[in-house]
Amino acid sequence: MSDTNNTQSPIVKVAAVAVIVFAIAGIGVMTGIIPTAMSSKETAKVCTDCGVIESIRLVEQKGQGSGAGAVTGGIVGAVVGNQIGQGRGKDLATIAGAAGGAYAGNEIEKNVKKTTHLQITVRMNDGTSRTFTRSHDAGFKSGDNVRVVNGNLTKV
C-alpha cells in the first residue's frame, strides 16, 4: 500500500500567506488607511490670483479739453486775425484766426492736463495675461512675483 501524506508543500503555504498580505495591503490603500505617493490631500493648490510681472511701461495720456482752452484760443486768434488786412481779407483773417486759435487753445489745454501712469502686464499662474494701471511707482520691476488683491497688485 502506498503511504499518503496530507501535508502541503512549503511553497503553497508561502504563496497563500503572500496572497493574504497583498490583499490586506490593497484594502488598506483603497480605504485610505495606507496613503499613496500622490495623495490628493497633499497636492499643492495653485494660486489663481498670483503671477509674475512681464513688463512695465510708462504711458502718457492727453487730458480732456473742457472748452476753456478753445474759447480762450479762439478769442486770441480772432483778435490777432483782425489786425491783418482790410475789408473782406480782414474778415477772413479774423475767422481763420479764431478757428486756428480755438484749435491751438484746445490742444494746449489737453497738453497741460496730460497724465502719466504705469501700465503693468502680469502673466498669471493660469497662463492668462492681465494689465494693471497705476498712477505712481510702487517699486515693482519685471520678474517680481505678485498677487492680485481687490484689483490691486501686491508683492509676494
Going by the DSSP 8-state scheme, the letter that residue 122 receives in this structure is E
Q: Which three cell numbers stand for residue 104?
A: 491751438
Tens-digit pLDDT profile for residues 111-151 = 888 888 899 999 999 999 999 998 877 788 999 999 999 98
Tens-digit pLDDT profile for residues 14-72 = 888 889 998 888 888 888 787 766 655 555 677 889 999 999 998 888 778 788 878 88
What pLDDT is attached to residue 122? 95
Q: Euclidean distance between the first and final Cα of the chain, in Å?
A: 88
